Amino acid sequence: MYINVNFKFTGVVKTVNSKKIIKFFIPNQNIYLWIIGILVLILFRYNIIISLIGGVIFVYLVYYKATTTYKSEERWKEIVENLTLDIDAATQNILLDLPFPLLIIKKDGEVIWYNSYFREACKVETNILSMKITDLLTDIDLNDINKIIGNKNSINYSLGEKIFKVFSNAVESINSEDILMLYWLDITDYELIKQNYISEKPLIAYIQIDNYDEVLQDSSESYRPLINAVIDRKINAWAKELDAFIKKYETDKYIMVFEQKYLSPLEEKRFNILDIIRETQSGNKIPVTLSIGVGNSQNSLSFMDSQRLSKSALDIALARGGDQCVVKKDEKISYYGGKSQAIEKRTKVKARVKAHGIKELIQNSDKVYILGHQIPDVDCLGAALGIYRCSKFLDKETNIIFNKSNPSVDILYETLIKNNYSDVFISSEIASKNITSNTLVIAVDVHRRSFVEDSNILDKAEKIIIIDHHRRGSDFIDDAVMVYLEPYASSTCELVSEIIEYMDEGIKLEEVEATALLAGIYMDTKNFSFRTGVRTFEAASFLKRKGADINKCKQLLKDDKDIFVAKIEAVKDAEITEENMAIASIDYTSDKIKLIVAQTADELLNLQGVNASFVIAQDDGVAIISGRSLGDVNVQVILEKLGGGGHLSVAGAQLENVSNEEAKIMLKQEIKDYIREGEDK
**Binding residue ranges for Mn(2+):** 373, 377, 379, 445, 469, 524
- C-alpha 224/C-alpha 286 separation (Å) is 13
Phi, psi of 105 (to 5 degrees): -130, 160
SS3 state of residue 386:
helix
- C-alpha 102/C-alpha 117 separation (Å) is 7
Residues, the chain: 681
Indicate the angle between helix axes 511-524 and 534-545, nearest 10 degrees. 160
The contacts of residue 217 (CB under 8 Å, 6+ apart) are none
Instruction: Name the binding residues.
Output: 373, 377, 379, 445, 469, 524
- C-alpha 623/C-alpha 285 separation (Å) is 43
Alpha helix (H) ranges present in 394-479?
410-418, 428-434, 455-460
SS3 state of residue 527:
coil
- C-alpha 155/C-alpha 140 separation (Å) is 10
CA atoms within 13 A on the CB side of 309: 24
The contacts of residue 143 (CB under 8 Å, 6+ apart) are none
- C-alpha 449/C-alpha 435 separation (Å) is 18
Which residue, among 517, 524, 530, 661, has the nearest Cα to 587 in the 3D structure?
661
Indicate the angle between helix axes 534-545 and 492-503, nearest 10 degrees. 60
With residue 581 as reference, give the H or E element that holds it: strand 581-586
- C-alpha 311/C-alpha 317 separation (Å) is 10
The dihedral built from the CA positions of residue 261, 263, 264 and 266, taken in this order, carries a sign that is: positive
- Judge contact between 264 and 203, C-beta under 8 A: no
Which residue, among 362, 379, 604, 554, has the nearest Cα to 470 in the 3D structure?
379
- Judge contact between 340 and 354, C-beta under 8 A: no
- Judge contact between 636 and 648, C-beta under 8 A: yes
